[in-house]
Homo-oligomer: A and B are copies of this chain.
Amino acid sequence: MPARPKRRALSPEARREAILAAALDEFTARGYEGARLDDVAKRAGVAKGTIYLYFADKETLFQDLVRSLVHPVLGMLEKTRDVDIPARMLVEGLLNTFVREIYGTRRKDIIRLILNEGSRFPAIAEFYYREVVARVIAIVRPIMARAAERGELPNDSLARFPQLIIAPMLVGIMWHALFDKFEPLDVPALVRAHIGILFGSAK
């Protein structure tokens, strides 16, 4: 039990994590431009110069932050590839995972950060599109098309517009950030209602 952590008590990896965690807090609270590296440093318990030992500059810090939080999700995605399951099961799995692993965690803040700052960071937008959005669509689309052929779905709308599947989740994230204090939104219930509309209410 180290009574008081001496300097350099943390491993380089742990220090990097501490800086990323602090950066998440600051970027989330103030946006990219508004976040100050002095505050990130203070929050991470580190001097400002130390940040520059781990990250080239503010933009790299931001991009590495996004990547570090998006990466684990890519692993989950891999598991869902090349499966042949009923459409409803896929969508329920996808949305439940989303509620649990993204809406229920700090990752929702990353989604918001990407949506908010993405147009000013083409590299981030492209990275996210290529690594996440395109992959999810590539998984979902053929399964929805098959479901439409089989008559599990009344038509091919979801195959043509897989965006319709996650749209309510994104709105849930935005609502939570902007309007929850005026009118709280029960996002898990929202998602259940959404699934009911897409596939007909379960009995």
Contact = CB atoms under 8 A, between A and B. Distances in A.
Given A134-B182, A155-B196, A167-B171, 19 more contacts: A30-B120, A31-B33, A31-B117, A33-B34, A125-B178, A125-B179, A129-B179, A130-B182, A134-B183, A154-B201, A155-B201, A157-B193, A161-B168, A161-B185, A163-B168, A163-B190, A164-B193, A170-B170, A170-B174
A133 to B, nearest CB: 6
Contact of A174 (B115, B120, B172, B178): B115
B182 A126 contact: yes
15 contacts: A30-B120, A33-B34, A115-B115, A129-B182, A133-B179, A158-B197, A163-B171, A163-B190, A164-B190, A164-B197, A167-B167, A167-B170, A170-B171, A171-B171, A197-B198
The secondary structure that dominates the A interface is helix
A130 B55 CA distance: 42
Nearest to A190: B161
Interface string A179-201: 10011010001100110111011
Nearest to A33: B33
Interface residues of A, number: 50
Contacts of A133: 179
Contacts of A172: 163
What is the total number of copies of this protein in its complex? Answer: 2
A63 interface: no
A106 interface: no
A81 to B, nearest CB: 19
A177 interface: yes
A160 interface: yes
B163 A185 contact: yes
A117 B120 CA distance: 14
Contact of A178 (B118, B190, B198, B200): B118
A119 interface: yes
Contact of A177 (B119, B167, B178, B201): B119
